[in-house]
Copies of this chain bind each other. A is one copy, B any other.
Amino acid sequence: MLLHLGSADRLLEARERLTALGLEHSLFPDRLTFEIRADLSIIRPAELEAKLKDLGPVEQVRSRTPLLDAIKPGHEVLVEIPGGEPIRFQNFSKNPVWIAGPCSLDDLNDIRSNAERLSALGVPVLRGGAVKPRTSPHEFQGIGRKGYKLLSDAAHGHKMAAISEALSEDDVEEAAEFLDIIQVGARNMQNYSLLKKLGKTGKPVLLKRGAGASLKEWASAAEYLLNEGNQRVILCERGVRGQERELRYTLDLAGAAFMQHRYGLPVVIDPSHATGTKQILEACTAGSLAMGFAGVMLETHPRPIEAKSDALQALPPEEFEAIARRHLKPRA
């Protein structure tokens, strides 16, 4: 982005204002033009232009995410549920959305009892994996797409929304029929064919960040969804590869805050998959809520030892309940 000063008189003022905005900049040898590294900046290009235009004309470089740049701060993603109040995902909301449930759907009873218990605690969204992306083909691959209906029946019975992952392009149609929110897993964040099909459904999509993805790559993946005309995009941070060797991933809360401030899409935090360690889930949940994120996603299982995946990180009912009682503010 280039700022062309109308007059050299305001050079010093321009430098001070750019610094105050926290922008990297360099002055061209004409001493009238600043190059501003707005590309990596936390400030939206349009907002920046508005703040600088009294100094002189601003010339924008072509953005790789023009649709995302046009999202307004406070953007709300509305999720309708049959016969219930819609659920609102919005950053800095008074009612951050809790999403909870088991990692994978094991059998019907579990998910029904999960729904009942979670609903009673005020959790508005029920999660459960039907088709599972497992690192090895020899691991449990989930109960399949029939799980979408089982999950949504269980959720809707308690006026909850249902969220589950679409793993394949072939999953999209059925997922869109039954689910209220469709999840894109971290491994598929850059599966552009899947993103395009999901964008076309118009359904709310929760887009998890890839474990090896930079913030801009994450933003560009969201742009694929927006590019199909779908603005109902929720971002979900679930940990990246960092320097940790003890926890499963590095939960990038500051990176998620960057996305929240820079792009305005609602951001949800999933500390269960990020850390794989249930002892710090309460701290991470409390931190996420204090940071103004649109929601949190936690893994619970009535009997973790019998869970078909992620036994060690799932919270048993009583531990989840204790956390929810201390931190969940139910909708009025």
Interface hub of A24, A244, A304 (most chain B Cβ within 10 A): A244
CA distance A133 to B311 in the complex (A): 35
Tell me if A59 counts as interface (CB < 8 A to partner B): yes
> For residue A194, which residues in chain B have a CB less than 8 angstroms away from its CB?
191
Mask, A210-230, CB within 8 Å of B = 1, is: 111111110010011001000
- In the complex, residue of chain B having the shortest beta-carbon distance to the beta carbon of A167: B193
Tell me which residues from 37 to 73 in chain A have a Cβ below 8 Å from any Cβ of chain B: 40, 42-43, 59, 64-66
User: How many Å lie between the Cα of A135 and that of B305 in the bound state?
Assistant: 36
Are the CB atoms of B22 and A312 closer together than 8 Å? Answer: yes
B255 near A253 with CB under 8 A, answer no
Residues of B within 8 A of A290 (CB): 286-287, 289-291
- A177 in contact (CB, < 8 A): no
Contact B190 A22 (CB under 8 A): no
A187 partner residues in chain B, CB cutoff 8 A: 190-192
Which residues of chain B are within 8 angstroms of A109 by Cβ–Cβ distance? none
With A216-B245, A227-B137, A254-B274 as contacts: A316 and B66 at CB distance below 8 Å: no
| Choice from B35, B170, B212, B287 contacting A210 with Cβ under 8 Å | B212
Nearest B residue to A307 by beta-carbon distance?
Answer: B19
Tell me the A256-315 residues at the B interface (CB within 8 Å): 257-258, 260-261, 271, 274-275, 277-280, 283-284, 286-292, 304-305, 311-313
CB distance from A151 to the nearest CB of B (A): 20
The reply on A247 being an interface residue by CB < 8 A is: yes
B215 touches A212 (CB 8 A): no
For chain A, residues 182 to 211, give those with C-beta under 8 angstroms from any C-beta of chain B: 187-188, 190-194, 210-211
Residues of A within 8 A of B (CB-CB), count:
92
Q: Is B22's CB under 8 angstroms from A279's CB?
A: yes
Pair A257/B241 contact, Cβ less than 8 Å: no
Binds B, one of A25-33, A94-102, A118-126: A25-33
- Shortest A294–chain B CB gap in Å is 13
Interface residue from B220, B243, B311, B316 paired with A242 (Cβ < 8 Å)? B243
1/0 per residue, CB under 8 A from B, across A222-252: the answer is 0110010000000000011111111100111
Contact B292 A245 (CB under 8 A): no
Q: Complex: how many Å from CA A213 to CA B243?
A: 6
Please determine whether B65 and A136 come into contact, CB atoms closer than 8 angstroms.
yes
Indicate if A75 sits at the interface (CB-CB under 8 A): no
- Say if the beta carbon of A113 comes within 8 Å of chain B: no
Closest residue of B by beta carbon distance from A225: B137
Q: A144-170, CB under 8 A of B: which get 1 and which 0? A: 000000000000000000000001111
4 additional A-B residue pairs with CB within 8 Å, beyond A19-B311, A250-B254? A43-B279, A138-B227, A215-B247, A244-B255
6 smallest CB-CB distances across A and B, nearest first, come from A212-B212, A168-B193, A290-B290, A187-B190, A242-B242, A64-B136
What are 20 of the A-B contact pairs (CB < 8 Å)? A4-B29, A20-B304, A135-B217, A135-B220, A137-B192, A138-B223, A167-B192, A168-B193, A187-B192, A210-B212, A212-B243, A214-B243, A240-B250, A250-B250, A250-B255, A253-B284, A254-B280, A254-B284, A257-B284, A258-B275
